[in-house]
Amino acid sequence: MTSENIESLSFEDALAQLEKIVSELEGGRIKLDDAVQAYEKAVKLKKICADKLQAAQLKIEKIEISPEGEVSTSEFEVPEA
């Protein structure tokens, strides 16, 4: 799969591929050269997942209702961990 194809994956598809690679690497069922390639692909998939999550987070707005019943939106603030 080329870099362009990887970047067009949905979050769910990228995550599924990442989970599969992690499982294969943890199981030690692949050759060293294949493991290195799989790791490189996993790094790209992880970045795509992180980027898509960040983009989704930026789109989320917090809906607020005032005591008077007026509805408004404001930027969603992520609580610090």
pLDDT above 70: residue 78: no
Using DSSP's 3-state secondary structure scheme, residue 67 falls into coil
Q: pLDDT band at residue 3, thresholds of 50, 70 and 90?
A: low
Question: What is residue 66's predicted lDDT score, i.e. its pLDDT?
Answer: 84
Query: Which pTM does this prediction carry?
Result: 0.68
Question: What is residue 72's predicted lDDT score, i.e. its pLDDT?
Answer: 82
Query: For the segment 18-77, what is each residue's pLDDT rounded down to a tens digit?
Result: 999 999 999 988 899 999 999 999 999 999 999 999 888 777 777 778 889 888 877 766
Q: Which residue, among 52, 37, 51, has the nearest Cα to 2 in the 3D structure?
A: 37
Q: Are 6 and 38 in contact (CB under 8 A)?
A: no
Residues 6+ apart with CB under 8 A from 38: 21, 24, 25, 30
Q: Are 14 and 51 in contact (CB under 8 A)?
A: no
Residue that has been written with the tokens 């930027």 in this structure: 75
